[in-house]
Structure 1
Amino acid sequence: MSSPLRRALAAGLLALATAGATLTVTATAAQAVVLPNNFKSVGYMPSWAGNVNTIQYNKLTHINYAFVLPNNDGSLRAVENPSKLSSLVSQAHANNVKVSIAVGGWNDGNDSAFEALAANSGSRTTFVNNLVNFVNQYNLDGVDMDWEYPDPGASANNYTALMTQLGSAMHSRGKLLTAAVVSEGYSVDGVQPAVFNQVDWLNIMAYDGGSPHSNYDWSINSVNLWKARGLPASKAVLGIPFYSRPGYYTYSALVALDPANANRDCTTAGGAQQCYNGVPTVKRKTQWALANAGGVMNWELSQDTTGSTSLVSAMYDTIM
């Protein structure tokens, strides 16, 4: 090979190598929104409310689409608004945000399908296989199990068996397995410590309790309860409500009534006192989670405002 040719080839290879290095850096940076210390900001997006075009993707790490429901035999019911889910996935992935399917939910307190399918190894396997197929079909990043709630005893044993099988199926495919869990009370023991090893993290639903609703101390105690049971801090994600109790008013509706409500935790609406989490409390909870937990979660994204009163922004600004 002549010397000029050799030089040209070497220059070409160097250019390729440099381009390759640049490409590698870009690809790595684009894997996911990364917050300090791998901290997570998780938001639920319901099938029945909210617009995927208005989500502040650049301030979230993970979004859970709610819900797909199981049947007793481990089959899945048709997901609501599949085109919305597809649009959510494409927009989230374009912004380096991961999307999981949330399975179950409150469902008017009816968890009979979970109880039935988890009690039998055949229907457990069917359920796991159906979720693997669902995740592949919609190009999802994982599953968020929202069985509300397995009870202590046989139900808890079946939940552990189910989560062990599902964890293995997801993790072997490079997918996530998370779960939403109750904040306090009897059902806490429905999730055995053996499950902690199977999940990437637990979304602790620290709301619908405490007086006033979901106050700071009560919420922190909810997370500490799980940590005391052996859940690593990095797998404890603090759930924060974007709505009030006892009346269910969305945070955005309360701010629309009076912009000053953004900085309060209680206000009068519908002739009664409604309590929720305003910007200062959300920032304070996020600050605590940064030091003592693995992330923050919200229920749910459609209930937030945009602009300076946004709770997703309050979380993000505190984290950054």
Structure 2
Amino acid sequence: MKLLLLTALVCGQALFTVAKPKVICYWPNWRMDEGGDNKHTPENIDPTLCTHVHHAFHELDDQHNVVRDSAGPQPDIYRRLNELKKKNPELKLIISMGGAGAPDAKYSHLISDAGRRAQFIKNTIAYMHKYKWDGLDIDWEYPVCWGGDCNKGPKSDKANFGKFLQELRAAFDKETPKFSLSCAVQADADVADQAYDYHAMASALDYVAIMTYDEAGAYEHHTGHHSKYTWCISATERYHSKGIPKEKVLMGVPFYGHTFKLQDKNKHSIGAPITGEGRTPHGEGDNAFYSEMCDLVKNKGWAKEDPDQGHDPISYHDLTWVGYDDPYAAYE
């Protein structure tokens, strides 16, 4: 999961429901030590914009069979995150465990043994009580399909992961108040069908956050919108068709765009030929933050188009091209 700035991924319920909408804001722990405007502290978060804040990332400590902060213990940070509840008493603070590149074998080893699963659940509940977390989010990429390759992991991961979720649910329901349980999940159908027990997810999880982003890149040798509207809608509807209740289906919205270097500055439509990745003045690699795109379009003379009836906005200047989301991308 690519998280580049405060609330870099927001998930909103993709299908209509009478339940109160969930807005999940991911807050990355690795930008805390950056200076100037790039430093993101708990005090930078507006808790009225989110129903849940996911602290990314925790990792699996397989030696002690418990979760731990990938940046090391930060009790003062956890205290300051809890201070946000003074502004929004209904805010939920969630541990997000995993992320892109997390060692798949560790997770597979954990879920393959009932005793290890039980000990992890016990230890993790104690950890969450200690630091006043409200729930656990699991971002394993992915059971069976380690790193997206469905030939790498054992087929037993699918059933074992389902058992793990159900056991977590049973234990979390005994707590007062009950802990939340969720998963970040793959949008691609081929991977999802091999990785997930949809029935177990439907019964065990409070919500699934579908990773509807990073679908396009320079590896395709042409420009492309990485969070294309039709693809996002299709992915979210598909999870509902697999039995996940619609009030539990959330769509990922990236707060960054992917940047390409055009082969010809006069050819700048979606699908235009490129020579490789592009760079914006204040981006991170080939990623351009939404806040920067606002400035480039409003103040720096960059062109902006909405090629798909208001969806899938793009912007370009000279040989640099960016596909990103804005508030008018019209997710319905």
| Fold agreement, TM-score > 0.5 | yes
**Structure 1 residues 239 and 43, CA gap change in structure 2 (3 angstroms):** same
Corresponding position: 1:252 with 2:276: no
Give a deviation string over 1:106-165, Cα, whole Å, max 9, x none: 1x2632211111111122122212220121011111111111111273111111111111
Partner SS for 1:48: helix
Give a deviation string over 1:153-210, Cα, whole Å, max 9, x none: 3111111111111111112211111111111133212111222100111111111116
TM-score in terms of structure 1 length: 0.71
Q: In structure 2, what residue type is equivalent to 1:221?
A: S
Tell me what 1:225 maps to: 238
1:221 positional shift: 0.6
Tell me what 1:59 maps to: 49
Give a deviation string over 1:68-119, Cα, whole Å, max 9, x none: 100335333445244223211221354121111111111x263221111111
Tell me what 2:197 maps to: 192
Contact 1:47 1:84 in 2 (8 A): no
1:269 positional shift: 7.2
User: Matches of 2:317 and 2:102 in 1, distance apart?
Assistant: 27
User: Matches of 2:318 and 2:187 in 1, distance apart?
Assistant: 27
Q: In structure 1, what residue type is equivalent to 2:326?
A: G
Identity of aligned residues (%): 24
Partner SS for 1:38: coil
Partner SS for 2:257: coil
- Where do 5+ consecutive residues of structure 1 fail to align? 1-34, 289-320
Contact 1:115 1:150 in 2 (8 A): yes
Contact 2:57 2:95 in 1 (8 A): yes
More strand by share: 2
Partner SS for 2:168: helix
1:270 positional shift: 9.9
Q: In structure 1, what residue type is equivalent to 2:162?
A: T
Corresponding position: 1:177 with 2:181: yes
1:36 positional shift: 6.7
Larger Rg: 1
**Structure 1 residues 156 and 54, CA gap change in structure 2 (3 angstroms):** same
TM-score in terms of structure 2 length: 0.69
Contact 2:96 2:139 in 1 (8 A): yes
Q: Could you tell which deviates more after superposition, 158-167 or 258-267? A: 258-267
**Structure 1 residues 71 and 279, CA gap change in structure 2 (3 angstroms):** same
Partner SS for 1:220: helix
CA RMSD, aligned part only? 2.4
More helix by share: 1
Give a deviation string over 1:45-76, Cα, whole Å, max 9, x none: 11122222121211211111111100335333
Tell me what 1:71 maps to: 61
1:280 positional shift: 0.4
Partner SS for 2:185: strand
> Which of 100, 113, 118 is equivalent to 1:120?
113
User: Matches of 2:297 and 2:205 in 1, distance apart?
Assistant: 41
Q: In structure 1, what residue type is equivalent to 2:77?
A: K
**Structure 1 residues 171 and 259, CA gap change in structure 2 (3 angstroms):** farther
User: Matches of 1:180 and 1:207 in 2, distance apart?
Assistant: 12
User: Matches of 2:291 and 2:122 in 1, distance apart?
Assistant: 39
- Where do 5+ consecutive residues of structure 2 fail to align? 1-16, 32-39, 146-154, 217-223, 260-285, 307-312
